[in-house]
Chain A
C-alpha cells in the first residue's frame, strides 16, 4: 500500500514542550484519528506537516514527497480544516472563495457550489456573520473543492453542536469511499472517531503512545472490573493503568483474552471506548 502521509522521527522543541521523535504512517483510503489531551502535540504535528513550523529533526513525506522541498505541489493536494476560522471575516463567502480558488490549479467550482447548496451556506453573507458551524462547513467546502487527496483536520468538531458534528462525520465517510483519498483527523472528542476512523493514533506529552487499527484496539483491549480483594494478587504489569474506587478497581488491558484466562470469573471484561483508552494511557504517563 502506498503511504499518503509518512512521518519519521519528527522532533520539535519549545521552552516547555517537545515533540519527541514521532512516527506516523497513513495509507490511502483510510481515516486516521489523531487523539490526545489538550497540549499533547496534535496541533504542533499538524503545523509541522503544513510547514507552518520548522521541524528540528525528522522526515515528513506527503504523497511520497518531502513536505518542505515540494511544499507547493504537496499543498495543492491537501485540504485543511482548522479548529478556528482563519478566513477574512470582512469578506463574503463568494469573495473569499474567489481568492482561495485562485491558488488551486484543480479548483472545481461545481463541487464547491454543490457543497454550498448542501450545507445551505449564504454566498453573499460576510464570514463574520456566520455561526461556528457554518464557518466550519465553509472551510470544509473549500477543502473539498480542489480535488485534494489528503484532508487534514485539526479539531474540526470542537465547539460544534452534535447535529453539525454528525453531518461532518457523514461527509467524511462519503469522501473516503474514494480509495485514493485519506483523512488525518485530530480531536480530543474521541466519540467522533468511534464511528468513522480506521486507525487511531494516540499522542501524549509529545510521544506516540499507540497507533493501531481501531477495530483491533476495540476488539483486543479490555476494560476490566474486579473486587478490591483481587488488587493485592494482581500483577500490575498486566494492566496499562488501574483506577481504584470504593467497591473495587477498573483497569485497561491490552489483551483481554489473556486477562480472561488469567483471572477467569473473578473479573468482568467490557469493550473500552476510545475515551477509556485515551484516559488510561494519559493517566499512566502522568503517574509514571
Chain B
C-alpha cells in the first residue's frame, strides 16, 4: 500500500512544484486574509493533487492494472485516502519552511505562525472535502465525478451561507442553544478532541463507503 502512495507522488512531480508555488502565491497575495490564508491554500493544494492523481488513474486506465495485481481493492482505496494526508503534511512542511525563510531574510511580508487550532482546522477542512468527493469518485469514476463536484462546489458555497442564515434565525431554538452552551462550558482540549473524533468517524464512514463502491465496480 505504501508503494501505491509513492506511485501517486511520483506521477505528480510537476504538480508538487506547482503546489508549492501556489502556496507561496497564497502567502503573498492573500496577506489580507490573515491566518485563514493557510487553510484555504492547503485545501486548494490537496484538492488539486488528489484530483490530478485520480485523473491519471482514469487516463492510464490504471484500475485494470491495479486490480490485476495481487492487491486488495480496499488497499487501493486506503492508499488514496492516506495519500491526501501525505499531501497535507507536505503542504504544512513547505508552508512552515516558507515562513521560516521569510522571517530569516526579513522579507517585508506578514507571516502567521501555524497555531494548533489553525492546523487542526485546516486538516478538518481537507478531510471534509476529501470525505465527500472520494466516495463519489469511487462510485462514478473521474469524468462523472467532475460534474458532481461542480454541483457540490456550488451547493457548498450557497449551502453554507444559507445554513449560517438559518442558524442565525433559529438562534433562540433549543438545540442551537444546547450546542452553544456545550461549547461554552467545555475546555478547549475537550472541544478539539470532540472535533477530532467527529472528523475521524466521518472519514471512516467515507472510507467504508468508497471501499464498498469500489468493490462493486467492474472494469
Which residues of chain B come closer than 8 Å to A104, judged between CB atoms?
A: 69-70
Residues of chain A with a CB closer than 8 A to B216's CB: 54
Closest to A50 in B: B68
Q: Are A88 and B64 in contact (CB under 8 A)?
A: no
How far apart are B49's CB and chain A's nearest CB, in angstroms? 14
A52-B218, A54-B218 known; A87-B65 Cβ under 8 A: yes
B202 at the A/B interface (Cβ < 8 Å)? no
- Whether B61 pairs with A86 at a CB distance below 8 angstroms is yes
* A78 vs B59: C-alpha distance when bound (angstroms): 25
Query: Could you say which residues of chain A place their CB within 8 Å of the CB of B63?
Result: 52
Interface residues of A in 33-74 (CB under 8 A from B): 47, 50-54, 71-73
Cα distance A76–B61 when bound, in Å? 21
**Residue A288 lies at the interface, judged by CB distance under 8 Å to chain B:** no
Interface string of A95-132 (1 = CB under 8 A from B): 10011101110000000000000000000000000000
> How far is the CB of A103 from the nearest CB of chain B, in Å?
5
- Contact partner of B218 among A53, A72, A103, CB < 8 A? A53
Extra inter-chain contacts (13) besides given A52-B218, A88-B56, CB under 8 Å: A52-B63, A72-B70, A73-B70, A78-B68, A86-B68, A87-B60, A88-B7, A88-B11, A89-B60, A91-B11, A99-B4, A99-B7, A103-B3
Residue in A52, A89, A91 whose beta carbon sits within 8 Å of that of B64 in the complex:
A52
Instruction: Judge whether B168 is part of the interface by a CB distance below 8 angstroms.
Output: no
On whether A75 and B218 interact (CB within 8 A), knowing A98-B3, A102-B3, the answer reads no
In the assembled complex, A82 has its CB within 8 A of some CB on chain B? yes
Is B67 an interface position by the 8 A CB rule?
yes
Determine whether the beta carbon of A88 is less than 8 Å from that of B67. no
Beta-carbon contacts under 8 Å, B36-77 to A: 56, 59-65, 67-72
Q: List residues of chain A with CB under 8 Å of any chain B CB.
A: 47, 50-54, 71-73, 75-76, 78, 80, 82, 84-91, 95, 98-100, 102-104
Residues of B within 8 A of A47 (CB): 218-219
- The residue of chain A having its C-beta at the shortest distance from the C-beta of B60 within the complex is A88
Q: Is the C-beta of B28 less than 8 angstroms from some C-beta in chain A?
A: no
User: Given A87-B60, A88-B56, does the pair A50, B10 have CB atoms closer than 8 Å?
Assistant: no
Chain A residues near B70 (CB-CB < 8 A)? 71-73, 75-76, 103-104
Alpha-carbon separation in the docked complex, A89 to B68 (Å): 17
Given A91-B10, A95-B10, the answer on whether A86 and B3 have CB atoms closer than 8 Å is no
* A80 nearest CB neighbor, chain B only: B68
Q: A119 CB to closest chain B CB, in angstroms? A: 19
Which residue, of B3, B7, B59, B61, has the highest number of chain A Cβ atoms within 10 A? Answer: B7
Task: Determine the residue in chain B with the shortest Cβ distance to A143.
Answer: B68
Residue B6 interfacial (CB < 8 Å): yes
CB neighbours (8 Å) of A99 from chain B are 3-4, 6-7, 10
B69 closest partner in A (C-beta): A103
> Separation in Å of the B148 CB from the closest CB of chain A?
24
Closest A residue by C-beta to B12: A90
A-B contact pairs, 26 of them (CB 8 A): A47-B219, A50-B68, A53-B219, A72-B71, A72-B72, A73-B70, A75-B68, A78-B68, A82-B64, A84-B61, A86-B60, A87-B60, A87-B65, A88-B7, A88-B11, A88-B62, A90-B10, A91-B10, A95-B10, A98-B3, A99-B4, A102-B2, A102-B3, A103-B3, A103-B70, A103-B71
Residues of B within 8 A of A50 (CB): 67-68
Q: Is the Cβ of B69 less than 8 Å from the Cβ of A75?
A: yes
Given contacts A72-B72, A91-B11, A98-B3, A52 and B60 within 8 Å (CB-CB):
no
Q: Contacts A52-B64, A100-B69, A103-B71: A90 and B11 contacting too (C-beta < 8 A)?
A: yes
List of A residues within 8 angstroms of B218 by Cβ: 47, 52-54
| A87 CB contacts on chain B under 8 angstroms | 60, 65
Q: How far is the CA of A130 from the CA of B166 in the complex (A)?
A: 58
